[in-house]
Structures are given as structure tokens and as C-alpha cells.
Amino acid sequence: MKLESEDLVCILERYVSDEQSYYRANPGSGFWRWGWVQQRERLAAVAEWCASKCEGSIVEIGCQEGLTTKLLGAVARKHNRRVIAVDSWIPGTSGCEGGEYEKFLANIELYQDIIEVLRLPSDDVRVSNRLVNEQLCFAYVDALHTTVACAQDIRIVSHASCIAVDDILWDGAVLVAYMESFRARSHVRHPYCREGYLLGVQ
């Protein structure tokens, strides 16, 4: 089923009131914090919308402590789907300092039966081999913040019905990778969301 951008905008609008209040109260906040207040709940709501409309699993690339993963797990449980979680959890990469993997496992404990963990860098060929034939209803990309790495992550989930790409508001390298995907997909950006969305399948 085709996902309509107008429906996505309506979902995003429901999850930006706290963002607006936060920035009115904290006008000097760093721009990198823009759009983070309701982000996890917003991503889960979009994943829920996708799972209700389209077949396939949910994939998250870049999981850290699993705070978003467990919300995606709840969506997957409700719709009888699976989550594929991809992260290397190597200290010194993507904000990992050590101990994140253990926190991730604790956070996803209730959903471990439906979460497949690929403890690998997203550019490892085993990740692309695993995902290439997997039907995906929703993908969330939040791994290495370089144009090449982000573009590669988007490419390996390019068959997902909807892709959310994090940090496009403050990271120019990620924004370039996101914009390079416009040729093949429609896109939705909201001024109070730090992530952008790509709809449609190549």
C-alpha cells in the first residue's frame, strides 16, 4: 500500500507540541538538540502507521542503549512483526563509550524474542546480505554521521516503505545523504523534527 505524505505530516504534528514549548522556554539551546524531546515517541508512532499499512519487519541502524528499540519492539509485538537491530557497539564509534550494549540488552528484554540483533558495523556485508531480501515496513537510520556511511545505510534499507533519517537538522553530512535520496522517493521534513522521512520504494 502506498504511504501518503499528508498522513505522515499529520502524525508528526501530533508529536511536536513539546518541541515547540521546549524551545520557547530554552531559546539558547544548542541547535543539535532541536527536535529531540518527543522523537522516540514520534518514531514509534510512524512505525505503527507503517506497520498498520504495509507488510514487513522494522529495522533500526544505530541502536546505542535501545531506548528507541524497545518502543519499536512494542509496535512489532502489536502487529506480529520483528525488529532487526543493527549496531557494532564498539566503544569510540557513534557515541559509544562502553557499556551501551549491556544497557541495550536490558532495555529490550521484554521483546528479545522478536528482536534480531546484528552486532556488526552497518557497512559489513553480512548486514546488507541479511536485509536485501527482507521485506521492510519501516527503517530508522541513525549510525555513522558521514555522507558515505549514511548513504550506504539508506541504500541497504532502500526497499523499506518508509525510512527515517536522524539528525538532518544539524549534521550537514547526513543532510547531503538524505537529499541524495530525493530522486527516488518523496520526502517529508518538519521544522520541529530533527529527523527526515523518505517515502516510497525505489
Does 13 score more than 70 pLDDT? yes
Does 201 score more than 80 pLDDT? no
Average pLDDT, integer, range 39-45: 97
Does 3 score more than 80 pLDDT? yes
pLDDT of the residue at 104 = 97
Distance CA 36, CA 24 (A): 14
Does 123 score more than 60 pLDDT? yes
Fold of 5-199: Rossmann fold (3.40.50)
pLDDT of the residue at 200 = 86
| Residue % of the chain over a pLDDT of 90 | 74
For residue 173, with 0-12 CB atoms within 10 Å meaning exposed, 13-18 middle and 19 or more buried, which class applies? Answer: middle
Average pLDDT, integer, range 180-194: 89
Average pLDDT, integer, range 173-186: 89
Q: Which residue has the cell 520557547?
A: 24
Task: Band the pLDDT of 1: cuts 50, 70, 90.
Answer: low
pLDDT of the residue at 30 = 65
pLDDT of the residue at 202 = 46
Does 31 score more than 80 pLDDT? no
Neighbour order of strands in the sheet with 136-141: 115-118, 83-86, 57-61, 136-141, 162-165, 196-199, 186-189
Question: What is the C-alpha radius of gyration for the chain, rounded to an integer number of angstroms?
Answer: 16
Task: Band the pLDDT of 20: cuts 50, 70, 90.
Answer: confident
Q: Where are the beta strands (DSSP E) in the chain?
A: 57-61, 83-86, 115-118, 136-141, 162-165, 186-189, 196-199
pLDDT of the residue at 176 = 94
What does the mean pLDDT of the chain come to?
92
The more confidently predicted of residues 169 and 100 is: 100
Give the DSSP per-residue string, 137-182. EEEEE-S--SHHHHHHHHHHTTTSSEEEETTTTT-HHHHHHHHHTT
